[in-house]
Amino acid sequence: MKKIVLITGATSGIGEACAYKFAKEGWNIILTGRNEKRLDEVAAATRAMGAEVKTLVFDVRDRQAAKAAIESLEGEWATPDTLVNNAGLALGLNKEHEGDLDDWETMIDTNIKGLLTMTRLIVPRMVERDRGHVINIGSIAGDAAYAGGNVYCATKSAVKALTDGLRIDLAETSVRVTNIKPGLVETNFSVTRFHGDKERADNVYRGIRPLTGEDIADTVYYAAAAPDHVQIAEVTILATHQANVNVICRKE
């Protein structure tokens, strides 16, 4: 029987790359996201790779919508083997005392509360079955703040703490918990952060070859495919010329 992975935020970037990676490796997939058109496109591509696919259209910030979507899953789909909590975003790069309250609320509701909602909905089913894996997409921004990162960094610090706490809570079970912490990854992340300013977003990656969504998907799958007795607790992934969140050597 094929294993099943549920991926949040699967319409682009790391989430989309994870969908293709798991499909390539023979898994069936539950894709979630807000953009139904993009979900359908990713679903079609993964079906063409041989996967059985279900799509669930909802925003992880909407607890009731998330609950209804998960409760609609039946049979073997009701308890995925792996949950990839990928949905997340950064908005703005303002100083904390000049920040946008709406941007803050969106980041907190998505990166923290959305992750908690999905964890609460899926993990009890894994515990009941005594098998499963939660993979949270964190960030090196959760290890150290950077200029203008304030609230985004705080949300990723929360992801680290929540991942570590969940691993402790599940230690008596066979459910595994992993935190994947990328550095610079060139997706639509910076375009979203700068509210569609492509030129400003491109400047983030100037002079360095950043990671790709596919690089992160490879690592996510490595953790998911490890033997049952092996728990990859945490992985930090950096571009070669990035030493940490603040040290980047740009080759002009």
Active site residue ranges: 152
Q: Which residues pair with 211 in a beta bridge?
A: 185
Spell out the alpha helix ranges (H) of 9-99: 13-24, 36-48, 63-71
Measured CA to CA, the distance from residue 111 to residue 109 in angstroms comes to: 6
Amino acid at residue number 198: K
Token pair for 227: 């033997």
The whole-angstrom distance between residue 13's C-alpha and the CA centroid of its chain comes to 10
Measured CA to CA, the distance from residue 100 to residue 23 in angstroms comes to: 39
DSSP state of 236: E
Spell out the alpha helix ranges (H) of 96-230: 101-107, 115-129, 150-169, 189-193, 198-204, 213-225
Q: Is 188 helix (H, G, I), strand (E, B) or coil?
A: coil
Measured CA to CA, the distance from residue 60 to residue 67 in angstroms comes to: 10
Measured CA to CA, the distance from residue 191 to residue 176 in angstroms comes to: 33
CB-based contact 46:29 (threshold 8 Å)? yes
Exposed (0-12), middle (13-18) or buried (19+): which is 210, by Cβ within 10 Å? buried
For the CA atoms of 243, 246, 251, 252, the dihedral, rounded to the nearest 10 degrees, stands at 180
